[in-house]
Protein backbone atom coordinates (compact mmCIF):
# COMPACT_ATOMS: atom_id res chain seq x y z
CA UNK A 1 0.00 0.00 0.00
CA UNK A 2 2.62 2.49 1.11
CA UNK A 3 5.21 3.54 -1.43
CA UNK A 4 7.86 1.17 -0.15
CA UNK A 5 10.77 2.16 -2.43
CA UNK A 6 13.02 -0.52 -1.05
CA UNK A 7 16.66 0.19 -1.75
CA UNK A 8 17.78 -2.41 -4.18
CA UNK A 9 20.32 -4.19 -6.01
CA UNK A 10 23.17 -3.91 -8.38
CA UNK A 11 23.63 -7.59 -9.31
CA UNK A 12 21.64 -8.60 -6.28
CA UNK A 13 23.44 -6.43 -3.77
CA UNK A 14 21.77 -3.79 -1.70
CA UNK A 15 22.54 -0.42 -3.22
CA UNK A 16 23.01 2.96 -1.63
CA UNK A 17 19.78 3.67 0.20
CA UNK A 18 17.40 6.37 -0.92
CA UNK A 19 15.14 8.63 1.02
CA UNK A 20 11.68 7.30 1.79
CA UNK A 21 9.01 9.91 1.18
CA UNK A 22 7.88 11.38 4.47
CA UNK A 23 5.77 14.28 3.32
CA UNK A 24 2.36 14.06 1.74
CA UNK A 25 3.61 15.95 -1.30
CA UNK A 26 6.43 13.57 -2.05
CA UNK A 27 4.29 10.52 -1.40
CA UNK A 28 1.94 11.67 -4.12
CA UNK A 29 4.83 12.29 -6.46
CA UNK A 30 6.18 8.79 -5.85
CA UNK A 31 2.75 7.46 -6.70
CA UNK A 32 2.80 9.38 -9.94
CA UNK A 33 6.24 7.99 -10.75
CA UNK A 34 5.06 4.44 -10.19
CA UNK A 35 1.94 5.04 -12.24
CA UNK A 36 4.00 6.45 -15.09
CA UNK A 37 6.40 3.52 -14.96
CA UNK A 38 3.51 1.08 -14.92
CA UNK A 39 1.93 2.70 -17.96
CA UNK A 40 5.19 2.71 -19.89
CA UNK A 41 5.87 -0.92 -19.07
CA UNK A 42 2.38 -1.81 -20.21
CA UNK A 43 2.98 0.02 -23.48
CA UNK A 44 6.49 -1.00 -24.39
CA UNK A 45 7.87 -3.43 -21.83
CA UNK A 46 10.20 -2.74 -18.94
CA UNK A 47 13.29 -3.05 -21.09
CA UNK A 48 12.22 -0.24 -23.37
CA UNK A 49 11.07 1.90 -20.46
CA UNK A 50 13.32 4.99 -20.23
CA UNK A 51 13.92 6.71 -16.96
CA UNK A 52 13.68 10.12 -18.59
CA UNK A 53 10.30 9.24 -20.01
CA UNK A 54 9.07 8.04 -16.63
CA UNK A 55 10.09 11.34 -15.10
CA UNK A 56 8.53 13.36 -17.87
CA UNK A 57 5.25 11.50 -17.78
CA UNK A 58 5.10 11.75 -14.00
CA UNK A 59 5.71 15.47 -14.28
CA UNK A 60 8.87 15.41 -12.18
CA UNK A 61 12.54 15.90 -12.90
CA UNK A 62 14.92 13.04 -13.44
CA UNK A 63 16.62 13.99 -10.19
CA UNK A 64 13.41 13.56 -8.21
CA UNK A 65 13.02 10.09 -9.63
CA UNK A 66 16.44 9.11 -8.34
CA UNK A 67 15.69 10.71 -5.01
CA UNK A 68 13.36 7.84 -4.18
CA UNK A 69 14.53 5.02 -6.42
CA UNK A 70 18.22 4.11 -6.41
CA UNK A 71 18.05 2.77 -9.93
CA UNK A 72 15.80 1.61 -12.70
CA UNK A 73 15.28 -1.87 -11.36
CA UNK A 74 14.10 -0.45 -8.05
CA UNK A 75 11.02 0.93 -9.78
CA UNK A 76 10.27 -2.40 -11.36
CA UNK A 77 10.92 -4.10 -8.05
CA UNK A 78 8.48 -1.77 -6.30
CA UNK A 79 5.78 -2.58 -8.86
CA UNK A 80 6.52 -6.28 -8.63
CA UNK A 81 6.25 -6.16 -4.86
CA UNK A 82 2.77 -4.71 -5.08
CA UNK A 83 1.62 -7.47 -7.36
CA UNK A 84 3.12 -10.19 -5.21
CA UNK A 85 1.59 -8.75 -2.07
CA UNK A 86 -1.80 -8.57 -3.76
CA UNK A 87 -1.71 -12.06 -5.16
CA UNK A 88 -0.34 -13.59 -1.98
CA UNK A 89 -3.27 -12.19 -0.04
CA UNK A 90 -5.61 -13.61 -2.66
CA UNK A 91 -4.00 -17.03 -2.51
CA UNK A 92 -3.94 -17.14 1.26
CA UNK A 93 -7.62 -16.31 1.34
CA UNK A 94 -8.51 -18.97 -1.21
CA UNK A 95 -6.59 -21.78 0.48
CA UNK A 96 -6.98 -20.91 4.14
CA UNK A 97 -10.29 -22.62 4.73
CA UNK A 98 -9.75 -25.77 2.70
CA UNK A 99 -10.42 -28.79 4.87
CA UNK A 100 -11.03 -31.70 2.52
CA UNK A 101 -9.99 -33.01 -0.89
CA UNK A 102 -13.04 -31.67 -2.66
CA UNK A 103 -12.47 -28.25 -1.16
CA UNK A 104 -8.87 -28.28 -2.34
CA UNK A 105 -9.94 -29.29 -5.80
CA UNK A 106 -12.35 -26.40 -6.05
CA UNK A 107 -10.06 -23.83 -4.43
CA UNK A 108 -7.09 -24.78 -6.58
CA UNK A 109 -9.15 -24.72 -9.73
CA UNK A 110 -10.44 -21.26 -8.93
CA UNK A 111 -6.97 -20.08 -8.07
CA UNK A 112 -5.54 -21.16 -11.39
CA UNK A 113 -8.35 -19.39 -13.22
CA UNK A 114 -7.82 -16.21 -11.25
CA UNK A 115 -4.06 -16.28 -11.80
CA UNK A 116 -4.47 -16.95 -15.49
CA UNK A 117 -6.87 -14.05 -15.71
CA UNK A 118 -4.37 -11.83 -13.95
CA UNK A 119 -1.61 -12.81 -16.36
CA UNK A 120 -3.86 -12.15 -19.32
CA UNK A 121 -5.15 -8.85 -18.02
CA UNK A 122 -2.06 -7.27 -16.49
CA UNK A 123 0.59 -6.44 -19.04
CA UNK A 124 2.85 -5.07 -16.34
CA UNK A 125 2.79 -8.24 -14.28
CA UNK A 126 3.26 -10.25 -17.45
CA UNK A 127 6.25 -8.22 -18.49
CA UNK A 128 7.89 -8.25 -15.09
CA UNK A 129 7.59 -11.97 -14.60
CA UNK A 130 8.23 -13.21 -18.08
CA UNK A 131 10.43 -10.49 -19.47
CA UNK A 132 12.87 -8.99 -17.08
CA UNK A 133 14.28 -12.08 -15.52
CA UNK A 134 17.72 -11.01 -16.58
CA UNK A 135 17.69 -9.30 -13.23
CA UNK A 136 19.06 -11.50 -10.51
CA UNK A 137 17.33 -9.65 -7.71
CA UNK A 138 14.00 -9.98 -9.49
CA UNK A 139 14.51 -13.65 -10.04
CA UNK A 140 15.18 -14.02 -6.36
CA UNK A 141 12.05 -12.06 -5.54
CA UNK A 142 10.10 -14.39 -7.78
CA UNK A 143 11.60 -17.43 -6.09
CA UNK A 144 10.77 -16.01 -2.68
CA UNK A 145 7.27 -15.31 -3.91
CA UNK A 146 6.94 -18.83 -5.26
CA UNK A 147 8.09 -20.26 -1.97
CA UNK A 148 5.63 -18.12 -0.04
CA UNK A 149 2.78 -19.16 -2.31
CA UNK A 150 3.79 -22.80 -2.23
CA UNK A 151 3.82 -22.49 1.54
CA UNK A 152 0.06 -22.01 1.56
CA UNK A 153 -0.32 -25.10 -0.56
CA UNK A 154 2.02 -27.04 1.70
CA UNK A 155 -0.04 -26.08 4.73
CA UNK A 156 -3.18 -27.43 3.10
CA UNK A 157 -1.46 -30.66 2.06
CA UNK A 158 -0.11 -31.22 5.55
CA UNK A 159 -3.62 -30.82 6.89
CA UNK A 160 -5.07 -33.25 4.38
CA UNK A 161 -2.26 -35.82 4.50
CA UNK A 162 -0.81 -35.69 8.02
CA UNK A 163 0.90 -39.04 7.56
CA UNK A 164 2.98 -37.97 4.56
CA UNK A 165 6.58 -36.83 4.71
CA UNK A 166 6.49 -33.04 5.25
CA UNK A 167 9.61 -32.43 3.15
CA UNK A 168 8.08 -34.31 0.24
CA UNK A 169 4.92 -32.26 0.51
CA UNK A 170 6.94 -29.07 0.43
CA UNK A 171 8.75 -30.23 -2.69
CA UNK A 172 5.49 -31.15 -4.34
CA UNK A 173 3.88 -27.84 -3.52
CA UNK A 174 6.82 -25.78 -4.76
CA UNK A 175 7.03 -27.81 -7.93
CA UNK A 176 3.35 -27.49 -8.68
CA UNK A 177 3.46 -23.81 -8.09
CA UNK A 178 6.49 -23.26 -10.30
CA UNK A 179 4.96 -25.40 -13.00
CA UNK A 180 1.85 -23.29 -12.80
CA UNK A 181 3.81 -20.13 -13.40
CA UNK A 182 5.67 -21.75 -16.27
CA UNK A 183 2.36 -22.82 -17.76
CA UNK A 184 1.01 -19.29 -17.49
CA UNK A 185 4.06 -17.85 -19.21
CA UNK A 186 3.74 -20.38 -21.98
CA UNK A 187 0.00 -19.92 -22.24
CA UNK A 188 0.16 -16.17 -22.77
CA UNK A 189 2.88 -16.46 -25.37
CA UNK A 190 0.86 -18.77 -27.62
CA UNK A 191 -2.59 -18.21 -29.04
CA UNK A 192 -5.60 -17.87 -26.78
CA UNK A 193 -7.11 -21.25 -27.64
CA UNK A 194 -3.88 -23.18 -27.16
CA UNK A 195 -3.20 -21.22 -23.99
CA UNK A 196 -6.55 -22.22 -22.54
CA UNK A 197 -5.89 -25.85 -23.40
CA UNK A 198 -2.50 -25.75 -21.73
CA UNK A 199 -3.89 -24.24 -18.56
CA UNK A 200 -6.64 -26.84 -18.48
CA UNK A 201 -4.12 -29.63 -18.93
CA UNK A 202 -1.96 -28.20 -16.16
CA UNK A 203 -4.93 -28.00 -13.86
CA UNK A 204 -5.75 -31.62 -14.51
CA UNK A 205 -2.18 -32.79 -13.91
CA UNK A 206 -1.73 -30.73 -10.78
CA UNK A 207 -5.01 -31.87 -9.31
CA UNK A 208 -4.14 -35.49 -9.96
CA UNK A 209 -1.01 -34.93 -7.91
CA UNK A 210 -2.72 -32.89 -5.21
CA UNK A 211 -5.88 -34.85 -4.53
CA UNK A 212 -5.17 -38.11 -6.30
CA UNK A 213 -6.82 -39.65 -9.30
Of 107 and 135, nearer to its own copies (C-beta) is 135
Give the span between the Cα atoms of 178 and 138, in whole angstroms: 15
According to DSSP, the residues that pair with 10 across neighbouring strands are 13
Task: Print burial letters for 114-131: b (CB count within 10 Å at least 16), e (below 16).
Answer: ebbebbeeebbbbbbbbb
Residue 10: helix, strand or coil by DSSP? Answer: strand
Residue 164 binds to its own copies (criterion: CB under 8 A): no
Residue 139 binds to its own copies (criterion: CB under 8 A): yes
State the binding partner of 24 from DNA, its own copies, none, CB within 5 to 8 A by kind.
DNA
State which of residues 34, 36, 60, 173 lies at the interface with DNA (CB under 7 A). Answer: 60
State which of residues 3, 36, 40, 67 lies at the interface with DNA (CB under 7 A). Answer: 67
- Give the H/E segment covering residue 102: helix 101-121
According to DSSP, the residues that pair with 13 across neighbouring strands are 10
Residues in touch with its own copies (CB under 8 A): 11, 46-48, 130-134, 139, 143, 146, 167-168, 171-172, 174-175, 178-179, 181-183, 186, 189-190, 194, 197-198, 201-202, 205, 208-209, 213
Amino acid sequence: MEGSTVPVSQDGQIASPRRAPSQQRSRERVERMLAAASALIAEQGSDAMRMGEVAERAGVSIGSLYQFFPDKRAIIWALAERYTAESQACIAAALAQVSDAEGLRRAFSDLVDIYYGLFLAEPVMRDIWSGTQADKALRELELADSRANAEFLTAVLKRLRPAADPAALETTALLIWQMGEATMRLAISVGRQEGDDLVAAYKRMALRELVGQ
